[in-house]
Chain A
Amino acid sequence: MSVKLNSRQVGDVSVVDVAGRITLGEGSSALRDLMREMVGKGQKKILLNLGEVSYIDSSGIGELVSGFTTVTNSGGQLKLLNLNKRVKDLLQITKLYTVFDVHEDEAGAIRSFA
C-alpha cells in the first residue's frame, strides 16, 4: 500500500491523517503535494497525524522536513501527532525529534497551536 491522506478541519487547525508508507515515489510526493496545496490555500495550522504510518524512509523524513520549512516560512505551524516507535526512533536518530513539536493526543495537539 502506498500512502493515504485524509484532511479534516478541527476549528482552525487542518488535520491530515496519514496512513501507509511514506517512501520515495508516490508516497512522499503525495504528502509533499498536499502540504504545498494547503500552504497555497493559506492554511497556517497543520497537524500531521502519523498514527497509521507503517513505514517511512529517508525520503519521507525529507518530506516532513520540507513541509515543516514550507509551513514555517509561510508564517504557519506544522506539528506531528501519534508517532509510532519506528517513526519516533528515526526522528531521534536523525536529531529531528526536537525540531518538530510532537504530540500523543489530538486534543492536546490542537490546543497547542498559537
Chain B
Amino acid sequence: MKLDLRSINRCVRCGTCRSVCPVFEESGWESANTRGRILIMKGLAGGLKADADVHSSLNTCTTCGICTEKCPAGVNPPTLVEEARKELVAHGMVTKEQAELSKRILESGNTMGDRGERLAWLSDRGLLKARSDYVYFVGCMNSYRYTKTAKNSFAILSRFGATLLPAEQCCGSPLLRTGFDAGELIEANVRQMKQMGAKTIITGCAGCYTTLKNNYPAYFHISSIPEFLAEHISELDLQPLPIRVTYHDPCHLGRHNKIYEEPRRVIEAICDLREMKASRENARCCGGGGGVRSGYRDLSLRMARRRLKDVPEGVDYIVTSCPLCIRNLRDAGAGEKVIDLVDLVARAIGKQCL
C-alpha cells in the first residue's frame, strides 16, 4: 500500500491528539483517535490486513483538524487519513456506505441522490446571466435542503452582480474526503465557470469552500460567504437586531482555512455575540464532516450533542456558515435555533428573502 511514511513517521506518539479528538471522546478505543489511526496506517504499510475495523478507524475521522492544530510535531493527520482512504478505495476496499454514497453522487450530481431540479428554489430563471465575474456556488445542501438560505444568499450576492452556474454539480467534497475520485464533477463545474468568465467563486458551504479552494485548479479566486460579506459590510446596510447569538466555527472554514474573524465581524455588526466554550482554533467539531455523517450517523449525532453543550446560556441563535454543521446540530436537538449566517444577515437587511 502506498502511504506517505515520511509524514507518518513524524508522529512521536505523544498522545496530544488523543486529548482533543472528538471521535475518541465518544468511543474511548485507541483506534478511534488520531494516534491510533496513524499506528494503523503504519500497520497497513507493514502488512496489517485492511478489514472492517481498519475501515471504521480511518472512516470515522471527521478530518476536523483539531489534531493538526495541537500536534507538537507538525503532523497533518487529516491529509494522511484522506490519502489512506484513497489507497483503500484504489485497492477496491470500500464499505457498503461508501459505495452507496459514491454511486448516489455520481448518478445524481448531488450528495442526497435527489432527482429533482437543482435550481428549483430559484423563482425566476431570468435572473441568471450568461457571463459574470462573480459566481455563487450553491452546493448540494443549500440547493436541495436549505433552499431559503440559497435564496437569501443569491438575493444578497446578486446585488453585487453574482450569478449561478447553469448546471452546477456537487463540488466533489464527499467523494474526495472518503477516498474517491471527483475528477468528472470538478471538470463539469470548472468548464461552466470558465465559460461564464468567472473570476471569483463564492460559496456558503464550508465543505464546498475548502474543496474549491484546495482541490480545484487555481483558476479562480475562491471566497466564502463570510469573507465576502465582511468585505462588503458597509454596503449591506445592516440594521442592528436586539438578539444575542453564538457562533460555531465550521472546521473546514476555521481550522482548515483560518477564517475566524470575518463571520464574527459580520455578526457583531448586527447583534451581540457570545463565544462558545470552545471556539476558533479550539472549536469542537459538530461531527458532520469527513463522511462520518453518512457512514456513522449515530456517532456523528453524539458528537453534535456534545458540541451543543458548548453553547453559552441565554443565546437566541447558534449561527454558523456550513449547511453540514447546520443539519447535524439541528438533528442533535437544537432544531431551528441553528441558523446560517446568511439568514441572520438577510434578517438584518430587513427582508427574509429580500
A and B form one complex: no
